Structure 1
Amino acid sequence: MSDNHTPRLPTYFISHGGGPWPWMKKEMGTAYSQLEAALADMPRQIGRTPRAILMVSAHWEAPAFTLQASPKPPMIYDYGGFPAHTYQVHYDAPGSPELARRVQQLIAAAGLPAALDAERGFDHGAFSPMAAIYPQADVPMVQLSLKRGLDPAEHLALGRALAPLRDEDVLIVGSGLSYHNLRNFGPQAHDVSKAFDDWLDQTVVQGAPGERAARLNDWSSAPSARIAHPREEHLIPLMVAVGAAESEAGVRVYHEDAFMGGLVVSSFRFGPAQA
């Protein structure tokens, strides 16, 4: 637990990039330079090393909100078509069964379904961005699944249930992508990705915090919404980050208007930076 003099941690929604990109700099050149720099800046913004990370990745869905409960989670190489060496990479952060149980209790106390999974490993929605944020893998990390059905209201409620963790020195990170349509990438997707990104910025940065939940709950009515997210698993982690910082200002901490050849993408922080 943090003491009374330790400021509460912010929450984040990050765009995590594609597959095992931190281990492909030779193949990809500078394609991820801006994203990597933004992720690497998060420890400076936070101002201290958190006790642990609670990571909500787009790449895990379960019937109930499920927590990784292994003290030493294995790796899940949940991607295809990448160089052979990317199936040998390791991000060996320790798990935290204690934190998993604490989070399970918070979720259950909010009347939401919660479970533990002692076998689940780290997927690339967790280990790829974390390789840039904490490259030494020395901060314990617990993954938390999305709930099947991907209901925005349920995931906003999940975030509200998790809010006490921010005062317990646990950093809540929602990991997805602000634009995720693998069939419409590149320059031809610039305008539709910009339309949705502009709506996101208006909703979570420029708009009043009290109006965010209603707008996010109705996200599919946003401009280009179903082009940006034909299936919304990469957007739903945003709901968790917002729910856990519902009354606090949002800031865009990463923005690129030609990602992967033409996409407009962003990441956001909720709550103030400490440094």
Structure 2
Amino acid sequence: MVQPALFVAHGSPTLAIEENDYTKFLRRLGQEMLDRPRAAVIFSAHWESPVQLVSADDRHQTMHDYYGFPEEMYRIRYPAAGDPLLADEIISRFKAGNLPSRTVEGRGLDHGAWVVLRAMFPEGDIPVVELSVDAKRSPAEQYAIGKMLGELRSDNVLIIGSGGLVHNLRRIAGEGTDPAAWAVLFDDWIGEQLVSWNLRSLFEYDKKAPHAKEAVPTYATEHFAPLLYAMGAADSDRQAVKLFQDYQYGSLSLNCWMFGNRPDR
């Protein structure tokens, strides 16, 4: 079975306790739109490293890597299993691509990973391997790293990039605020490049996209990077479908893109 690759925005950590159109969509995505994967490999914006890191735990702890949120946010557990054998296979593929990498044990799943996975697979019964991102790499390099894992999709492995296309916490507004025009223009421009698989423009989004500096400030490039990792994993297909787009707090975008396989349900 061939799985798609996905880019999934993880929004605010409070998505873990909210009931809204996006959380409903994520549940439907995991339960109705996707065939059941044997494992999920997720690149998270909240794990940065210049060396490619790969989780190799038998069972993941749940990281509460945020502060100032409701107490119930700190009681949530998502003890998904890991997949050390898959982690080793991923390392082998990175070595074949001359990418410095190593496995890590005992870290746990950060909220960029578990908030998304818990919404999609609430039973926690899909083994998970989490991967770091390197926001200092070029978009072309990030894409190439994802491409190294593309063949895993044919082995029923779901590859996910978890981040946010518009992620400027200094520009967010009050809850319920209408989407900011500049944020929508940026998202729509990115969407045009994805649908046409225009890598030349996409790799220069910081210079070509409208409002790029507002949408992806220098302190938040790690949230945009997972898009390129996920997209690279579908290089052999080069198909992109937007499944969802909305906004929290006026400009924090909630996007989900599917690469490689078109939903048929």
Same fold (TM over 0.5): yes
Q: What is the aligned partner in structure 2 of residue 268 from structure 1?
A: 257
Structure 2 SS opposite 1:240: helix
Q: Give, in whole Å, the separation in 1 of the partners of 2:178 and 2:156.
A: 42
Code of the aligned partner of 2:201: R
Aligned residue for 2:149, secondary structure, equals helix
For 1:270, the aligned partner's letter is F
Q: Deviations over 1:157-214 (max 9, x none)?
A: 0111010110111100000012100000124870110111111111112x2x3x2x22
TM-score (norm 1): 0.88
For the pair 1:249 / 2:239, whether they are aligned, the reply is yes
Deviates more, 1:98-107 or 1:184-193: 184-193
2:194 paired residue number = 204
Structure 1, unaligned stretches of length 5 or more? 1-5
Give the residue type in structure 2 aligned to 1:214.
R
**What's the counterpart of residue 227 of structure 2?**
238
Match of 2:147 in 1: 160
Deviations 1:99-127 (A, max 9, x none): 11111111111111111101211000111
CA distance in 2, matches of 1:104, 1:67: 8
Q: How does 1:210-225 map to 2 (within 5 A)?
A: 211=198, 213-221=199-207, 222-225=209-212
Shift of 1:273: 2.4
- Write the distance in 2 (CA, Å) between the matches of 1:263 and 1:229: 11
The offset of 1:85, in angstroms, is: 2.3
Distance 1:273 1:198 in 2: 21
Distance across 2 between alignment mates of 1:264 and 1:20: 14
Does the Cα contact within 8 Å between 1:94 and 1:141 map onto a contact in 2? Answer: yes
Q: How does 1:117-136 map to 2 (within 5 A)?
A: 117-136=104-123
Structure 1: how far apart are the matches of 2:226 and 2:103?
Answer: 19
Cα RMSD (Å): 1.7
Give 2:11's aligned residue. 17
Identify which range, 157-166 or 145-154, moves more after superposition: 145-154
1-side partners of 2:248 and 2:211: how far apart?
A: 18
Distance in structure 2 (CA, Å) of the matches to 1:64 and 1:154: 13
The alpha-carbon deviation at position 263 of structure 1 amounts to: 4.9
Task: Check the 8 A contact 1:197/1:265 in 2, yes or no.
Answer: no
Give distance in 2, aligned partners of 1:241 and 1:128: 18
CA distance in 2, matches of 1:86, 1:150: 32
Aligned partner letter, 2:88: R
Q: In 2, distance between residues paired with 1:265 and 1:191?
A: 15
SS in 2 for 1:235: helix
Structure 2, unpaired ranges of 5+: none
Give the aligned partner of residue 259 of structure 1: 248
> 3-state DSSP class of the match of 1:167?
helix
Would the alpha carbon gap of residues 189 and 253 (structure 1) be closer, same or farther in structure 2, given more than 3 Å must change?
closer
The question of 1:113 aligning with 2:100 is answered yes
Number of residues of Structure 1 aligned to a counterpart in Structure 2? 256
| Map 1:83-102 → 2, pairs under 5 A | 83-102=70-89
- Give the share of equivalent positions with the same residue, in percent: 33
